[in-house]
Amino acid sequence: MTNQITAKYYHHMGDDITTVNAARVSFAKQSKLVCTDLIQGTYDLDKRDKKLINYLAKHKHLSPFNHASVTFVCKAPIFVARQLVKHEYMPWNEVSRRYVSDNIEFYRPDVWRGQASDKKQGSAGEVDAIYSSNYGSPYFPNDFADRHNKSCLHIYQCMIDSGVCEEQARMVLPQNTMTEWYWTGTLGAIAKMCNLRCKPDTQYETRLIADQISDKMTELFPVSWAALMEEKDQ
């Protein structure tokens, strides 16, 4: 189910002013946040600093964006994790089935999508039933998936109980097995990932992770994130 796929905020370092001052250090200058409401105790960048951030993003002067960082704890099926792990400069530490053999969970989609007819990658519409010559009547996709998951889990557990090492026994688990990882990136690196993975043509399950991360980045770095994510709306 889609609520199985999560990207939860863990911690962060820096804010919009971090990017500003990383850029202004070239001129031995430094900016400070401006108080916008003394009673509420709220602060914001001044117009000059906001303009600088937009300039940096527009002209691809991206190094100042790499002095702030965020860590997320993500959970998704293996086939999603293997798409995301390819992104550069984002350290990744994952649960290892070499050491952990319990708490196995399988991803179960809310909807089974059909293959898109106009491209090799992508999906369109829904598939309500699966037809097979081995069965007299159509099966619902989740019935097939649930049967497969139970079979794989049974085989895996039998192998573990028989003394097969965990690092080999794990090979019988399907790609919809859930995995969990810590994922850290700089503001710039995460923006690069989200500019790619938040697009409408990205696989839906992968986009769930990217969208959750993007929402949190908007909260943590409102000015920088808006500037870096301009490509998303083009």
| Residues with catalytic roles | 197
The span from the CA of 11 to the CA of 75, in Å, is 16
CA distance 217 to 225: 7
HSE-up of residue 166 (Cα within 13 Å, Cβ side): 9
- The structure tokens listed for 145 are 């998936």
Nearest-angstrom CA–CA distance, 154 and 117: 36
Helices (H), the chain: 16-24, 47-58, 78-84, 141-161, 166-169, 187-197, 204-220, 222-228
- Tell me the helix, strand and coil percentages in the chain, rounded to 5: 45, 20, 35
Angle (CA) 114 117 121, round 5°: 75
3-state secondary structure at position 183: strand
What is the Cα Rg of the chain in Å? 23
> What are 79's strand-pairing partners?
none
Nearest alpha-carbon partner for 35 in 26, 27, 25, 43: 43
